[in-house]
Amino acid sequence: MTSLKDLQKEIRDAVFAKPSDNDALETASQHIHGDDRITADEHLLIYRQAILSTLISALESIHPVCRQLIGEQFFDAMARRYVRQSPSKSPDLGDYGADFSDFIAGFEPAQTLPYLADVARLEWAWHQAFHAPDETGSGLAELANVSGQDTPLILFKLPLSASLLESAYPIHKIWQVNQDDWQEEPSVNLDDGQVRLIVWRQHYDIRIDPLTDQQLRLLKAVKSRRSLEEISASEPGLPLDQTLPQCVKNGWLASFSLKQI
């Protein structure tokens, strides 16, 4: 008799098999009761249909702008392909689709929209920010008490909700004109040039803020856990005395500690 473990794998394989692959379906359906009204295969296909549509809907709900850009049918077909090859590794459906943007970047039929993968990255960052934990650190209030001697050792931290994004395309504008509340002309000039963004949550408000090249350099250095001293050394020409206060003022640095020597 097939063990429970093998039976479950057979059913999983039947669910995610290509429609042209009947072997997996036949293997699994040997375990299923069928009758005149509904065959064993049909029982399994109900689950295949339900499971694929749950995963596709999850991707749709996280990526409404991508869906709007390419239309429901194209999105559905692209997501279906992704779902068949990308197993969900978490019981939380909200974790599903972290590398959907990478898949889009390599998805041949989407190559005519070179910005699509970056828009998907932006939507994933928004989703991450929405579900991020609340900040629990003490913030930057103690910054004034750091002695001059210790200042080089300051290790800033980005908000827990933050993602840093760069794109050769105006993805922020593309995102904005596809929001329900956009009032102006719904057009985007793709030659508007590259954008650098931080997507994060301020209290309960999700923000997409444009960054300058210098701000992005600083925030990336912070993200890689470098102290102020290390950032000065690794980012020559970055005017920390200007860029740092800008990042603090905008809330892009959420807390700090001192690097232990």
Partner 1 sequence: MSRFISTPIENTGIGLRAQHYRDILEKKPDIPWFEVLSENYLSAGGLALHHLEQIRERYPVTLHGVGMSLGSTDPLNRDYLKKLKSLAERIEPAWISDHLAWISADGHYVHDLLPLPYTEEALNNFAARVDEVQEYLGCQLLIENPSSYMSFTESDLTEWEFLNELTRKTDCNLLLDVNNLYVCSQNLSFDPVLYLEALSEGRVKEIHLAGYEAQDNFLFDTHGQRVHPPVWELYEKTVNHLGPIPTLIEWDTDIPAFDVLTEEAGKAQQILNAGSLHD
Residues within the interface to partner 1 (CB under 8 A): 1-5, 7-9, 11-12, 15-16, 30-33, 35, 37-38, 40, 42-44, 46-47, 50-51, 54-55, 58, 87-94, 96, 130-135, 160, 201, 204
- Picking from 7, 44, 2, the residue whose alpha carbon sits closest to that of residue 22 is 44
CB of 221 to partner 1, least distance (A): 26
- If the CB atoms of residues 1 and 261 are measured against partner 1, the closer one turns out to be 1
CB of 93 to partner 1, least distance (A): 5
- If the CB atoms of residues 26 and 42 are measured against partner 1, the closer one turns out to be 42
CB of 255 to partner 1, least distance (A): 15
- What are the CA-CA distances from residue 66 to residues 114, 121, 147, 248 (Å)? 12, 10, 49, 32
Instruction: Report which secondary-structure segment, H or E, holds 208.
Output: strand 205-210
Take residue 75 and report the two structure tokens written for it. Answer: 């999105």
- If the CB atoms of residues 202 and 232 are measured against partner 1, the closer one turns out to be 202
CB of 75 to partner 1, least distance (A): 19
- If the CB atoms of residues 39 and 246 are measured against partner 1, the closer one turns out to be 39
Say which residue the tokens 């699994």 belong to: 28
Residue 214 contacts by C-beta under 8 Å, 6 or more apart in sequence? Answer: 238, 239, 242, 243
How far, in Å, CA of 184 to CA of 176, rounded? 10
